[in-house]
Structure 1
Amino acid sequence: MNRFLLVLVFVLAFGFSSVSAQNFSTHQVKKGETIESIAKRYFVTPFDIYNLNPDARKVLKPNTVLIIPISKAKKPKITVVKELQGFKEHKTKRKETLYSLSKKYNVSEDDIKKYNKSLYANPLRKGDRLQIPRFKITEVVEEANQTQEYTVLPKEGKWRIAYKFGITVKELEVLNPEMTEVLKEGQVIKVPNLDAGEVKEVDDKYSYYKVLPKEGFYRLKLKLGLEQSQLEDLNPGLEASGLKEGMILKIPYSNLTNGIIQADFEHINLVDSISDFKTKHIAVMLPFRMDRVDFDSIIDVKRSLKRDPYLKASLDFYSGVLMALDSLKTLGVSLKVDVYDTKYEVSEVSRIIKENDFENVDAVIGPLTPTSFHKAASELRVYNTPVISPIGTNLKLYDNVFQSRPSDELLKSKIVNFVRADTLATNIIIISDTKTVAVANDIKREFNHAQQVFSRKSEKTGEDEFFVTKEDIENALKSGKNVVFLETKNEGFASNVTSVLASLIQKENKELEEEEIEIVLVTTNVNSAFEGDQINNTHLSNLKFHFATGSKTYNENDNNAFVNKYDKLYNITPSKRAVKGFDLTMDVVLRLVSSEDLYKSVTNAPLTEYVENKFAYKKKLFGGYFNDTVYLVKYDDLTIVEVNQ
């Protein structure tokens, strides 16, 4: 998150006009204290405290941590003077990064780039000769306040630190306006100045839950199955402070997804965690079917590509793999890579494994197709070789299987939980055709009060005609916010429904006595029906179309290094398959070189994220590993953006 967004979050959340890292402190409320007494102690007004802590207007409970603005009368004097004294030459060694060099020489990464301009365009390489600036720094002098410095530990994310010090993630961001979204090991941040005995520890045997807006103990009982007394026993201080939006609660280990944050808030940058530079051995299995390609001419090759979807899919994926291997090489990672053509034949997979030595292979990526993947995974179990599926779902999870694509059930639960958490939705409608009635009925069981609308059927044949009328939907709408589930795999039906819904959006008009009708479109299964030529993306944007997905679309304005390099090399923007090949290969190899093996990396790297994909593996009690994280995205002004929850 960039600095502007951090400031924006602060303004929206607390109604304050400007923030700097030095003009506030924290205070933990003691029994008997009032806002007036706290304000006098810090030479501020009660209004100043309420500005930053709106919940304090309602009730002030012991152990609550307040953000306190530092009085202008006590504003600390800060003098920071940085004067260039000269340079020190440095020859880059293997596994050194800009971050490690900035720490070693006590200069910023930007300062290193400033005096070594080639680093703006090129990555740091072994053997580079750098000019490291030496500065004369005047010490920063400031008055003591109620915060302390904290050094980020390995694998620590924002929520863990917020939990330790009894504040919310937003409050931690307020204390550290320039803090990046992903924390780095060794990074120093500000936290409340608590006694050592008051700092809590995160126990990985438990799950952790982030309290949503307007959630009380009764709602948590329904969602988590825990009584208020049980939550208070697990969270000392909760009885006195009460529930607070964004608060992190310890709960018994749970398989729930909504609000459970033991992985979701903990991004790990494995590039900074490389520790093993021994050569790793991986294998890639794809159904190229090269024996079917006609190499007589370029025209014949192009014809083969059009004729064989498995060849095209394999080449797309493999192009991303090659890009990843090149990037890993620049990081100093040593790899031996075997590439096999499975020919889309199970027997060929057996032959490949039989005739080659897989005992010392660290990981196998592929095959793509379910039957071939099942064969490879089952035969490689004897070596305990990890086999990673790029695209498969609902696989048989042997103990050596990694299913990188999130399950359909996880996608469904993500959007259902999103709707359930929306306290502003006044009306829920479920629209479906005859082929998705079962899905619609499942959603109806989740939302008993929801209304159902079905596609019309032919009076003569009784067959589904895949359309609804404006009146069908209009009768189900109410004033205020309406959330509409659309469940279909029929493009024509999706086009019909989205067009009708878009026409029914209505702004408030007091003169005509018309009430506002807001419509938010969602689906539990986004598919090609929502992406076809018949679909009007303007309608989807107007309907704020939300859906869960295993991979988000990269933003072309982000100037992504992979995308730029791919475009320059292949003269085309990378397809989703190519991006998946890059992301998955980067993740597998970086996990191998930052942990003892791929299995141990599940604990060491709870959540990783790359260009379009993120990976947070969980192990089945008796079986393998599945990716337990997805994106929630929406259409916003004709662009698909991630929804921050």
Structure 2
Amino acid sequence: MKKLILIFILLLSFCANAQNFKTHKVKKGETIEQIAKKYLVTPFDIYALNPDAKSELKLNTVLIIPSSRVKNEAIQTKNKEVIGFKTHKVRRKETLFSLSQKYNIDIEQIKKHNSRLYAENLRKGDRIKIPRYKTIINNVSYNNTLKKYKVLPKEGKWRVAYKFGITVPELEALNPKMNTVLQPGDEVNVPNISNNEEKTVEDNFNYYTVLKSEGYMALNRKLGVTKEQLEALNPELKEGGLKLGMVLKVPYDVETSLTQEESVSTNLANNLSNLNAKQIALMLPYRLNRIDVDSVREAKKAIRTNGLLSVSLDFHSGVLLALDSAKRLGISTNLKVFDTRNNASEVSKILNSNNFSSYDAIVGPLMPEHLDRVASDLKHENIPVLSPLTMPKKLYDNVFQTIPSDKLLKNAIINLVKADTLKTQVVIISDSKHKAIANELKSNFSTAKQLYSRKNKDGKEAYFIYQTDLETIFKPGKNIVFLETENEGFASNVISMLNGLNIEDQEIILMTTGINKAFEGKNISNYHLSNLKFHYPSVNKTISGNSKNGFVKAYKRIYGVTPNKYAVRGFDLTLDLLLRLASEDNLFEASSSTIETEYVENKFRYSKKVFGGFFNEAVYVVKFDNLTITEVKQ
């Protein structure tokens, strides 16, 4: 037996030397941490090659020790020292951002040596001091397996884990007191690897965090990526295989839910660092030129009959309450309101008559074609333009699409059903107009039953199905039914029959990928929708008129009515904008995909297109429950 052990040790030693590994014989009282420190590796490196050591570390056990990745050689650190100043006269359209780019210094350094800029905006003709530096180089040596790392603005757990080649659980194990959501400036323990071994998160790829028990086949079904493709993008898989919490690089067109692990709502009010007065423009189609402001009667009539005016005023009322809330946090705002009159020539006139170079953001215009005009004109000055209620025609680099896309909404409810392990059956019912989405659902749920509305004797859509079409289709347990239509009569027909088939041992849950007027008509019973626990994806959740929310109470006190969805949207979007601007130097830096914020009815988590602007990917799934609409926790 001893000889066999000796042969085994020799073989291990031979293999270790062949691959530049070492062996270590465990001594009395030694721990994995002590051994790792001795060889300048991490405990995780040792466990990867010696999995039995996790459960028990026995005396005289021979461990395989990998080569150290620690940068134990002296490295150079650079410190800057001010040696003088250059005076710069501010020209038209110059901003702090453009000056920082021109002189290759941080905005904060400009403000530091021109302290009035903390409280005032940069103006044309100002003479400011631009610091000049000399660089002092110091040599620093590291002699440990771990180091402190300061989290950067756009980094969350998965980005830090990926950067240093460890899994998310390993990062959490190294930092037992780490916050649920990392904030810029947080210091965390990470492996002390060489700079050239640190990985970079690339914008032209997507990333995915491996879940418990997920193998290559499961990832292929979920992401549509083969083992060979994953290994080509993540070479470390060939040696160590898949691990729980490992962050994988995947092709850009693969849709992942990576950020959900870090999408815990971030309270930006706890991270305010930039309390300069914010310059905001609000562009809405009030069309006040059409209203006789001297006549109360005419004004009231205009509000009742002019949809754009009504929406604009409701949104504006929410904006004003957001400014007040932000002011209580120390954020002051200079708001300038422009009436676009829903007219292209008026939008051009506004742009030609005003200098927006010092503005922190523009909210609006409301109409996509007018927003496109404003965004295009201001993109060269890098002024953020937010689309408040509609989808922009083009996502320029400076555009923020605050409404989630239909695709994101659809994927939210599909992923919810995919994650439901209790479902026994999926049924897809649609009319011919929605055949494409029905087929897409079928591709996601291959065993699903499909039904289409009947046709009349002339072969035209009749928008109904028979009771007998449904009677034998459901199974005992939970049955998910997707209904895809915009026809109220068809929706009423199907919903009524499903309600009658929703019996004790045969639960039917009704869903749709896109809510529309067909589900809100007078022939649709809310009792039936509630009984079927009707689910649908939504841009916002709905609050009760009796809510104790501070905004709702303040709104009712000022205006005497409960705020509608446009007023709430105006409040949520504006407060989020101001808090983000107060937490970073500009909106671009404050819109990391690791930050998700939530307010009264809306939430925001921005992601940036590789060649384009930012889009909100935070959506809700809501359901009817006892005649009220509640959020479904995913």
TM-score under structure 1 normalisation?
0.66
Secondary structure of 2:423 counterpart: coil
Secondary structure of 1:532 counterpart: coil
**Counterpart pick for 1:274 among 240, 257, 272:** 272
Query: Contact between 1:404 and 1:626, CA under 8 Å: does it hold in 2?
Result: yes
C-alpha separation in 1, matches of 2:616 and 2:388:
11
C-alpha distance after superposition, 1:26-77 (max 9, x if no partner): x999657599969x9xxxxxxxxxxxxxxxxxxxxxxxxxxxxxxxxxxxxx
Among 569, 573, 593, the residue aligned to 1:580: 569
From 520, 526, 539, the counterpart of 1:531: 520
Aligned to 1:44: none
1:478 aligns with 2:467: no
1:235 and 1:249 in contact (8 A); partners too: no
Question: Are the equivalent residues in 2 in contact too, given 1:208–1:248 (CA < 8 A)?
Answer: no
1:251: which partner in 2? 249
Residue 301 (structure 1) shift: 2.5
- The question of whether the paired residues in 1 share the 8 Å contact of 2:593 and 2:606 is answered with no
Question: Which residue in 2 is equivalent to 1:12?
Answer: none
Q: Could you say which residue in structure 2 is the equivalent of 1:467?
A: 464
Give the TM-score of the pair, scaled to structure 2: 0.67
- The residue type equivalent to 2:216 in the other structure is F
The corresponding residue for 2:611 is: 622
Call closer, same or farther: CA 1:241–1:470 in 2, change over 3 Å: same
Q: Which one of 486, 494, 502 corresponds to residue 489 of structure 1? A: 486
- Map 1:230-379 onto structure 2 (within 5 A): 230=230, 234=234, 247=245, 249-252=247-250, 254-261=252-259, 265=263, 267-379=265-377
**Matched residue, 1:444:** 442
Which residue is equivalent to 1:216?
215
Secondary structure (helix, strand or coil) at the match of 1:602 reads coil
Mapping 1:149-160, distance limit 5 Å: none
CA pair 529-273 structure 1, distance change in 2 beyond 3 A: same
Q: Quick check: 1:395–1:403 contact (8 Å CA) kept in 2?
A: no
Q: Secondary structure of the equivalent of 1:358? A: coil
Counterparts in 2 of 1:32 and 1:464: CA distance versus 1, 3 Å: closer
- Unaligned runs of at least 5 residues, structure 2: 1-42, 59-147
Q: 1:538 to 1:627 in 2, by over 3 A?
A: same
Tell me which amino acid in the other structure corresponds to 1:326: D
Deviation (angstroms), 1:443: 2.6
The code of the aligned residue for 2:308 comes to Y
1:417 correspondence with 2:415:
yes
SS for the counterpart of 2:327 is helix
Which residue in 1 is equivalent to 2:225?
Answer: 225
- 1:451-509 Cα shifts (integer Å, max 9, x gaps): 221223332x544333223222234323333221111122332222222112212323x
Deviation at 1:339, TM superposition (A): 0.2
Give the number of aligned pairs.
496
Q: Deviations over 1:360-379 (max 9, x none)?
A: 22211011112222222222
Whole-Å separation in 2 of the counterparts to 1:518 and 1:473: 14
Equivalent of residue 509 in structure 2, options 485, 495, 520: 520
Question: What residue is the counterpart of 1:404 in the other structure?
Answer: 402
Is the deviation greater in 365-374 or in 293-302? 293-302
In 2 relative to 1, CA 210–421 (structure 1 residues): closer, same or farther, beyond 3 Å?
farther
Q: Which runs of 5+ in 1 are unaligned?
A: 1-26, 41-149, 509-516
Equivalent residue in structure 1 for 2:553, among 555, 564, 575: 564
Does the aligned pair in 2 maintain the 1:634–1:643 contact within 8 Å? yes
Answer yes or no: is the 8 Å Cα contact 2:545–2:562 preserved in 1: no
Cα separation, partners in 2 of 1:629 and 1:255, compared to 1, 3 Å: farther
Matched-pair contact (CA < 8 Å) for 1:212–1:421 = no
Mapped to 2, the partners of 1:251 and 1:287 lie a distance apart of 44
Q: Is the 8 A contact 1:152 1:184 kept in 2?
A: no
| Residue 623 of structure 2 corresponds to residue 631 of structure 1 | no
Amino acid at match of 1:457: K
Corresponding residue of 2:135: none
Alignment of 1:545-556 (within 5 A): 545-554=534-543
Aligned residue identity for 2:495: T
1:352–1:422 CA distance, 2 compared to 1 (3 A): same
Q: Answer whether contact 2:149 2:190 (CA < 8 A) is retained.
A: no
Rounded to whole Å, the distance in 1 between the matches of 2:313 and 2:490 is 34
Offset at residue 286 of structure 1 (A): 0.5
Return closer, same or farther for 1:368/1:201 CA change in 2, 3 Å cut-off. Answer: same
How far apart in 1 are the matches of 2:324 and 2:596? 23
Aligned to 1:592: 581
The alpha-carbon deviation at position 153 of structure 1 amounts to 5.5
Cα distance change on mapping 1:395 and 1:492 into 2, 3 Å: same
Distance 1:373 1:486, change over 3 A: same
What do residues 548-607 of structure 1 show as CA deviations (whole Å, max 9, x unaligned)?
222222366863222222122212221111111111112222222222222222238633
Identity percentage over the alignment?
44
Letter in 1 for 2:600: V
1:229 and 1:493 mapped to 2: Cα distance?
Answer: 45
Distance of aligned partners of 1:238 and 1:181 in 2 relative to their CA distance in 1, 3 Å threshold = farther
Deviations 1:527-550 (A, max 9, x none): 232233333233223323222222
Corresponding residue for residue 532 of structure 2: 543
Please name the residue that 2:630 is paired with.
Answer: 641
The offset of 1:338, in angstroms, is 0.8
CA RMSD, 1 decimal: 4.1
In the TM superposition, what is the alpha-carbon distance from 1:299 to its structure 2 partner?
A: 3.6
Letter of the 2:577 counterpart: V
Secondary structure of 1:348's counterpart equals: helix
